[in-house]
């Protein structure tokens, strides 16, 4: 057990945890931030995605002590002043989710993509989103939403 | 049935609800003013289905739930239509056994056709009651009254008016409906109220957006995985390396370094609980267990279909007039000029939901035990938890909270049982979530099958005999219903004996042949109890595989008789609505008649088009798939799907279209990727690497949906109908592209290349 400092959604926290505990459990279990979801724990699905310093990261395989001074953003932290992020607005407008359990991964990965590549080509979108899973198979809605967000 | 009613009385009486028992006498004293308190849930009471809130909005209580396809919005529209309220003022509360009667949960795509119809009838009755109240209040005849947006006014003296809210807002209806005495999917109610004439519909056919979307995207909604209670412990299972093995000894000292951890062991059920979730995960991995020596239960996967063919049948069944006269079938085939036969094989497939199932149970032997579940059937799942914990059904409240999608009977029903066993063992609320390998590897599977189809042709090539036969594992080795612990993995692990249903199914369509015989045989499970290959419902149970066989064979016969597949279907399909969907799909997709595979090639890429059609409980769907086959790699890309869909009247075209898109994409995943792998000891498809599904880069490039709206035909289910014919359409398109007839799925590069060799 060790004292570990985390900066999440602009707030500082200190938790007491195993250094090798995945960040996902710190967010969910210690901080009560439930938007990153446990999907596989194996870096195979993206449900646990958070953004650390602009990079989409799979928190289920990220040891909590490796985050260091990195600024962690969760789905709850991408709204500004209560206004949904343009990616969120697009996913809502396209009514993308079915069960919604995967959506954290798709939204957060798209946010990271558009930060770096505001006007992505279809190929760039595919390269960024390949590997993420949606078992309800909402892929065609997701594509519509990502394009809408890129145009917003 | 009565038990259900008593249960609700009990719940009310013990104060688990926000309502309490109705005071005797009030109803008689003021029949039109409504009740201050909600009467106990009872399928006969109008108040069990609908209420008018103080602000004049309405709430409908739905004993099913929505799996993210917008069923609840469809229901809201049906209720709004009958109540003459804008849909923005109708709310649907669903999936809580304390607020709704048991309408069967999400099951068989009956959300709208059965569940919605019941609430629509209740809404019509509520409107009738309200109009009568208004007539009394305004002192005018009821038939002089008209309703607009919840305001009832006199047609002759429009200044005489009163709102729903003024009449009864915040109180409860004190009247009854005619209940058919059933619970679950078959629950239905009637009343003297006249339903609105479809020509006056204003809300049907519009597309108000779903209400669960924003919370799911903004991250403000709770999933079942996010339920937390004070003092709650986290639980994980420790599963055997060989299916069927049981712990012989458990070395608790192997996890003593983990604070607050506890081992729970009952027969084959072995798990750990800990205050911190990560500690439970760690403990489940660190715990040293000696397992019983057990015979490897499964055949080698490469022998699966031979095993099915050779296994003894433990139950036979079928459909149609020839079940009683099998000799006539033989005769018909004997008299045929020519007989064509083909055999198709389909593997076990997994629900593999996005997250492993989760449930929270707060066991309170002297009060109300609560189950939070992502199960599609929270009422039944609550009954199952009660049975498992030796409680009366009325002592358990089942609350549905959105979970990872479930597509039938997935692992959610098992998680409820596991959480219940853990919570009782420790006397505290317990949150159980499985790990990925349990979700994919140990969740229920759709049954593997072998389908043999024969057609007898006369000298002109006319089909005179048709026999479709399936031999397969049980459709319901565990029932999808969840009210019986024998149908749960963890119930079986603590020793509850399984009760297989021994049933299968037949193709659904309206082909008319002189002799048409549909039959099936069920073979025994390879492992009787707690099997990772136990079979149950997966979205459109048996539909994709049965119709893969049927519709592939229809194409085979069409080509064998020098016919075009679309023309052949139009020739033999007898129902006009079915013909209409086939026709509509063909027109929209620009179908070019052909009597052989066209094998269109551009370099390594072969392209083709295939049709398939099927019906499902009144919904009919025809689809034309366009695929690209990379002849070098053997990879199949589902390029374009044209779906013609007739489910009666269309309530919400936008949500219906997106539901169809999801079905198409999920079915494509099952067509080209999904096969549960196993060795003789256990299932080896345990994650997304070993059980791949459709990737974003493989999504259909285009899905064209043609909705045939039948204004005067009540809505049929649309949740699964379009899942059914997709696999077959893909197989037929691969054949058109390459001339390779795949009779075994899924259509992986290996099989494509094997077929080409
Ligand atoms: S849960 Fe982290 S990638 Fe699946
Ligand atoms: S919406 Fe259910 S997994 Fe993506």
Q: Is B623 helix (H, G, I), strand (E, B) or coil?
A: strand
Give me ligand 1 centre to Cα B459, in Å: 60
B52 & B200 share domain: yes
Q: Do A101 and B276 touch (CB under 8 A)?
A: no
Distance from CA of B259 to the nearest CA of A (A): 11
Collect all residues of chain B within an 8 Å Cβ-Cβ radius of residue A74: 219
B615 within 8 A of B581, measured Cβ to Cβ: no
Does residue B716 sit at the A interface (CB-CB below 8 Å)? no
Dump pLDDT digits (tens) for A38-62. 999 999 999 999 999 999 999 999 9
The answer to whether position B529 is within a domain reads: no
B664 & B567 share domain: yes
Dump pLDDT digits (tens) for B273-309. 999 999 999 999 999 999 999 999 999 999 999 999 9
B511 & B643 share domain: no
Distance from CA of B406 to the nearest CA of A (A): 8
B622 & B719 share domain: yes
B93 & B201 share domain: yes
Mutate to test the interface with B, among A38, A59, A81, A125 (most CBs of B within 10 A): A38
B469 & B335 share domain: yes
Does residue B655 sit at the A interface (CB-CB below 8 Å)? yes
The answer to whether position B81 is within a domain reads: yes
For residue A79, the chain B residue with the least C-alpha distance is B218
Q: How far is CA B252 from CA A133, B245, B260, in A?
A: 37, 19, 12
A113 within 8 A of A54, measured Cβ to Cβ: no
Q: Which two tokens stand for residue B544?
A: 């994709």
Give me ligand 1 centre to Cα B246, in Å: 30
Mean per-residue pLDDT of chain B: 94
Give me ligand 2 centre to Cα B479, in Å: 25
Q: Is A6 helix (H, G, I), strand (E, B) or coil?
A: strand
The answer to whether position B289 is within a domain reads: no
Q: Supply the CATH number for residue B20's domain.
A: 3.30.365.10
Q: Mean pLDDT across the stretch B713-742?
A: 97
Separation between Cα atoms, residue A67 and residue A51, nearest integer Å: 11
For the CA of A135, the nearest atom of ligand 2 = 3
Phi, psi of B346 (to 5 degrees): -135, 135
Q: How far is CA B278 from CA B273, B426, B452, in A?
A: 10, 18, 50
Dump pLDDT digits (tens) for B240-251. 999 999 999 999
- Which residue among B222, B241, B274 closes a domain? B222
Collect all residues of chain A within an 8 Å Cβ-Cβ radius of residue B213: 91-92, 95-97, 100
Going by pLDDT thresholds of 50, 70 and 90, the confidence category of residue B756 is low
Q: Do A137 and B694 touch (CB under 8 A)?
A: yes
Distance from CA of A21 to the nearest CA of B (A): 7
B198 & B101 share domain: yes
What domains does chain A contain, in order, with CATH numbers? Answer: 2-77 (3.10.20.30), 86-151 (1.10.150.120)
B33 within 8 A of B132, measured Cβ to Cβ: no
- Burial class from Cβ neighbours inside 10 Å (0-12, 13-18, 19+) for residue B55 reads exposed
B317 within 8 A of B376, measured Cβ to Cβ: no
B670 within 8 A of B720, measured Cβ to Cβ: no
Phi, psi of A30 (to 5 degrees): -90, -40
Task: Give kind and range of the element (H or E) at residue B449.
Answer: strand B449-457
Q: Which of A101, A104, A141 is facing B658, going by the closest CB pair?
A: A141
* pLDDT at residue B12 tops 60: no
Distance from CA of B33 to the nearest CA of A (A): 40
Helices B117-138 and B71-83, axial angle in degrees (round to 10): 30
Distance from CA of A24 to the nearest CA of B (A): 10
Separation between Cα atoms, residue B334 and residue B577, nearest integer Å: 33
Does residue B693 sit at the A interface (CB-CB below 8 Å)? yes
- Which residue among B465, B490, B523 closes a domain? B523
Q: Do B404 and A101 touch (CB under 8 A)?
A: yes
Verify whether ligand 2 is closer than 6 Å to residue B403 (CB atom). Answer: no
Separation between Cα atoms, residue B668 and residue B665, nearest integer Å: 5
pLDDT for the residue numbered A107? 98
Separation between Cα atoms, residue B526 and residue B448, nearest integer Å: 12
Does residue B217 sit at the A interface (CB-CB below 8 Å)? yes
The answer to whether position B423 is within a domain reads: no
Q: Which two tokens stand for residue B143?
A: 């038939």
Collect all residues of chain B within an 8 Å Cβ-Cβ radius of residue A80: none
ipTM for the whole predicted complex goes beyond 0.95? yes
* pLDDT at residue B198 tops 70: yes
Q: How far is CA B272 from CA A79, B52, B251, B411, B415, in A?
A: 38, 47, 12, 19, 14
Number of domains forming the structure of chain B: 3
The answer to whether position B250 is within a domain reads: no
In sequence order, what are the residues at sequence separation of 6 or more whose Cβ sits closer than 8 angstroms to the Cβ of residue B308? B448, B449, B450, B471, B472, B473, B523
- Burial class from Cβ neighbours inside 10 Å (0-12, 13-18, 19+) for residue B713 reads middle
Choose between B24 and A28: higher pLDDT: A28
Q: Which two tokens stand for residue B686?
A: 């345990």
Give me ligand 1 centre to Cα A40, in Å: 5
* pLDDT at residue B456 tops 70: yes
Buried b (16+ CB within 10 A) or exposed e, B546-576: bbbbbbbbbbbbbbebebbbbebbeebbeee
Give me ligand 1 centre to Cα A24, in Å: 9
Q: Do A42 and B436 touch (CB under 8 A)?
A: yes
Residues in B 436-455 with any Cβ partner in A closer than 8 A: 436
In sequence order, what are the residues at sequence separation of 6 or more whose Cβ sits closer than 8 angstroms to the Cβ of residue A7? A13, A69, A70, A71, A72
Nearest-CA residue for ligand 2 atom 4 is A134
Dump pLDDT digits (tens) for B661-709. 999 999 999 999 999 999 999 999 999 999 999 999 999 999 999 999 9
Count of residues in chain B: 757
B100 & B31 share domain: yes
Q: Considering only CA atoms, which of A82, A145, A20 is closest in space to residue B696?
A: A145
pLDDT for the residue numbered B715? 94
Does residue B699 sit at the A interface (CB-CB below 8 Å)? yes
B270 within 8 A of B237, measured Cβ to Cβ: yes
Q: Do B669 and A137 touch (CB under 8 A)?
A: yes
Describe the strand order of the beta sheet including B449-457 as a list of residue ranges. Answer: B315-319, B515-523, B463-473, B449-457, B338-346
Phi, psi of B228 (to 5 degrees): -130, 135
The answer to whether position B218 is within a domain reads: yes
The answer to whether position B553 is within a domain reads: yes
User: Which of B70, B351, B354 to mutate for ligand 2's pocket (most ligand atoms within 8 Å of CB)?
Assistant: B354
In sequence order, what are the residues at sequence separation of 6 or more whose Cβ sits closer than 8 angstroms to the Cβ of residue B642? B585, B588, B589, B623, B624, B626, B703, B704, B706
User: Which of A39, A62, A101, A133 to mutate for ligand 1's pocket (most ligand atoms within 8 Å of CB)?
Assistant: A39
The answer to whether position B381 is within a domain reads: no
Neighbours of B88 (CB within 10 A): 10
Separation between Cα atoms, residue B164 and residue B167, nearest integer Å: 5
> What pairs with residue B398 in β-bridges?
B371
Three-state SS annotation for B285-347 = HHCEEEECCCCCCCCCHHHHHHHHHHCCCCEEEEECHHHCCHHHHHHHHHHCCEEEEEEEEEC
For residue A107, the chain B residue with the least C-alpha distance is B217
Neighbours of B131 (CB within 10 A): 20
For residue A38, the chain B residue with the least C-alpha distance is B355
Q: Do B217 and A42 touch (CB under 8 A)?
A: no
pLDDT for the residue numbered B484? 96
Portion of chain B with pLDDT greater than 90, in percent = 92
Q: Considering only CA atoms, which of B157, B164, B118, B165 is closest in space to residue B139?
A: B157
Residue B136, preceding bond cis, omega within 30 degrees? no
Q: How far is CA A21 from CA B278, B438, B610, in A?
A: 7, 21, 50
Give me ligand 2 centre to Cα A138, in Å: 7
Q: Is A91 helix (H, G, I), strand (E, B) or coil?
A: helix
Q: Which two tokens stand for residue B756?
A: 């080409």
Task: Give kind and range of the element (H or E) at residue B520.
Answer: strand B515-523
DSSP label at B97? T
Going by pLDDT thresholds of 50, 70 and 90, the confidence category of residue B32 is low
Q: Which two tokens stand for residue B619?
A: 């919904």
- Which residue among B193, B222, B251 closes a domain? B222
* pLDDT at residue B4 tops 60: no
Q: Which of A35, A41, A96 is facing B219, going by the closest CB pair?
A: A35
Distance from CA of A4 to the nearest CA of B (A): 15
In sequence order, what are the residues at sequence separation of 6 or more whose Cβ sits closer than 8 angstroms to the Cβ of residue B158? none
B666 & B569 share domain: yes
B604 & B519 share domain: no
Residues in B 22-81 with any Cβ partner in A closer than 8 A: 67-69
Give me ligand 2 centre to Cα A47, in Å: 10
Domain containing B474 equals 301-350+444-523
pLDDT for the residue numbered B11? 39
Choose between B112 and B483: higher pLDDT: B483
B590 & B721 share domain: yes
Q: Supply the CATH number for residue B337's domain.
A: 3.30.365
Contacts A–B by Cβ distance under 8 A:
168
> What pairs with residue B369 in β-bridges?
B396
Count of residues in chain A: 152
Task: Give kind and range of the element (H or E) at residue B125.
Answer: helix B117-138
Distance from CA of A112 to the nearest CA of B (A): 16
B624 & B749 share domain: yes
Please tell me the pTM assigned to this model.
0.95
Verify whether ligand 1 is closer than 6 Å to residue A101 (CB atom). Answer: no
C-alpha R_g of chain B: 28
* pLDDT at residue B13 tops 90: no
pLDDT for the residue numbered B181? 96
Q: Which two tokens stand for residue B402?
A: 């959105």
Q: Do B221 and A99 touch (CB under 8 A)?
A: no
- Burial class from Cβ neighbours inside 10 Å (0-12, 13-18, 19+) for residue B720 reads buried
Dump pLDDT digits (tens) for A75-134. 999 999 999 999 999 999 999 999 999 999 999 999 999 999 999 999 999 999 999 999
Separation between Cα atoms, residue B558 and residue B594, nearest integer Å: 10
């Amino acid at each position: 057990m060790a004292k570990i400092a985390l900066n999440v959604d602009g707030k500082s926290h200190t938790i007491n945890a195993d250094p090798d505990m995945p960040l996902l459990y710190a967010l969910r279990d210690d901080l009560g931030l439930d938007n990153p979801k446990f999907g596989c724990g194996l870096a195979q699905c993206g449900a646990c995605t958070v953004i650390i310093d602009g990079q989409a990261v799979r928190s289920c395989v990220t040891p909590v002590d490796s985050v260091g001074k990195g600024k962690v953003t969760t789905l709850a932290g991408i709204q500004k002043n209560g206004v949904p992020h343009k990616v969120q607005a697009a996913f809502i407008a396209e009514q993308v989710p079915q069960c919604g359990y995967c959506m954290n991964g798709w939204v957060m990965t798209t946010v990271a993509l558009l930060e770096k590549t505001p006007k992505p080509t279809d190929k760039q979108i595919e390269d960024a989103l390949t590997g993420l899973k949606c078992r309800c198979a909402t892929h065609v809605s997701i594509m519509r939403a990502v394009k809408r967000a890129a145009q917003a | 049935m009565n038990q259900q009613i008593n249960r609700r009385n009990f719940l009310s009486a013990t104060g688990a609800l926000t309502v309490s028992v109705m005071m005797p006498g009030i109803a008689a004293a003021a029949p039109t003013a409504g009740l201050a308190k909600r009467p106990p849930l009872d399928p006969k009471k109008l108040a069990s289905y609908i209420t008018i809130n103080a602000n004049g909005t309405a709430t409908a209580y739905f004993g099913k739930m929505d799996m993210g396809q917008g069923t609840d919005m469809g229901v809201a529209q049906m209720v709004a239509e009958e109540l003459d309220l804008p849909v923005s003022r109708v709310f649907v509360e669903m999936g809580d056994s304390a607020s709704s009667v048991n309408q069967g949960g999400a099951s068989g795509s009956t959300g709208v056709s059965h569940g919605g119809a019941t609430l629509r009838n209740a809404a019509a009755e509520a409107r009738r009651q309200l109009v009568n109240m208004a007539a009394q209040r305004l002192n005018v005849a009821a038939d002089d009254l008209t309703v607009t947006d919840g305001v009832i006014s006199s047609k002759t003296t429009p200044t005489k008016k009163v709102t729903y809210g003024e009449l009864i807002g915040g109180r409860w209806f004190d009247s009854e409906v005619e209940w058919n005495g059933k619970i679950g999917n078959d629950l239905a109610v009637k009343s003297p109220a006249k339903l609105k004439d479809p020509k006056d519909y204003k809300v049907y056919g519009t597309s108000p957006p779903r209400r669960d979307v924003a919370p799911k995207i903004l991250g403000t909604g709770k999933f079942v995985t996010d339920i937390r209670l004070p003092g709650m412990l986290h639980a994980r299972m420790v599963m055997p390396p060989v299916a069927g093995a049981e712990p012989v000894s458990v070395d608790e000292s192997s996890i003593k370094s983990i604070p607050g951890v506890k081992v729970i062991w009952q027969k084959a059920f072995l798990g750990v609980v800990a205050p911190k979730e990560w500690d439970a995960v760690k403990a489940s991995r660190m715990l040293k267990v000696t397992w019983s020596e057990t015979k490897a239960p499964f055949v080698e996967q490469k022998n699966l279909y031979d095993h099915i063919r050779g296994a003894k049948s433990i139950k036979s069944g079928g459909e149609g007039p020839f079940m009683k006269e099998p000799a006539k079938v033989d005769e018909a085939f004997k008299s045929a000029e020519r007989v064509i036969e083909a055999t198709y094989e389909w593997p076990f497939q997994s629900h593999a939901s996005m997250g492993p199932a989760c449930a929270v149970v707060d066991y309170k032997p002297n009060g109300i035990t609560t189950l939070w579940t992502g199960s599609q059937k929270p009422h039944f799942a609550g009954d199952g938890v009660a049975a498992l914990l030796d409680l009366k059904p009325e002592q358990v409240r089942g609350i549905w909270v959105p979970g990872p999608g479930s597509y039938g009977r997935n692992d959610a029903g098992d998680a409820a049982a596991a959480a219940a066993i853990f919570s009782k063992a420790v006397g505290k609320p317990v949150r159980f979530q499985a790990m990925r390998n349990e979700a994919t590897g140990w969740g229920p599977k759709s049954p593997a099958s072998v389908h043999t189809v024969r057609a007898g042709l006369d000298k002109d090539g006319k089909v005179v005999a048709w026999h479709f036969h399936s031999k397969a594992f049980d459709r319901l080795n565990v029932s999808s219903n969840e009210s019986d612990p024998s149908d749960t993995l963890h119930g079986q692990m603590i020793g509850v004996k399984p009760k297989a249903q021994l049933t299968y199914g037949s193709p659904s369509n309206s082909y008319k042949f002189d002799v048409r015989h549909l039959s099936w045989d069920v073979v025994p499970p390879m492992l009787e109890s707690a099997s990772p290959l136990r079979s149950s419902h997966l979205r459109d149970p048996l539909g994709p595989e049965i119709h893969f066989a049927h519709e592939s064979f229809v194409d085979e016969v069409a080509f064998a008789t020098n016919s075009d597949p679309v023309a052949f279907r139009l020739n033999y399909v007898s129902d006009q609505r079915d013909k209409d969907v086939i026709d509509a799909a063909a027109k929209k997709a620009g179908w070019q008649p052909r009597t052989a595979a066209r094998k269109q090639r551009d370099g390594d890429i072969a392209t083709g088009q295939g049709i398939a059609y099927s019906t499902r409980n009144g919904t009919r769907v025809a689809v034309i798939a366009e695929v690209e086959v990379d002849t070098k790699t053997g990879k199949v890309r589902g390029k374009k799907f044209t779906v013609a869909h007739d489910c009666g009247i269309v309530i919400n075209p936008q949500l219906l279209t997106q539901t169809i898109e999801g079905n198409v994409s999920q079915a494509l995943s099952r067509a080209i990727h999904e096969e549960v792998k196993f060795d003789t000891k256990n299932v080896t498809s345990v994650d997304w690497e070993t059980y791949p599904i459709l990737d974003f880069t493989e999504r259909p490039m285009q899905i064209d949906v043609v909705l045939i709206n039948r204004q005067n035909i009540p809505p049929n289910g649309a949740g699964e109908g379009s899942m059914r014919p997709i696999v077959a359409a893909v197989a037929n398109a691969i054949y058109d592209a390459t001339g390779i007839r795949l009779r075994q799925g899924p259509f992986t590069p290996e099989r494509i290349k094997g077929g080409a060799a």
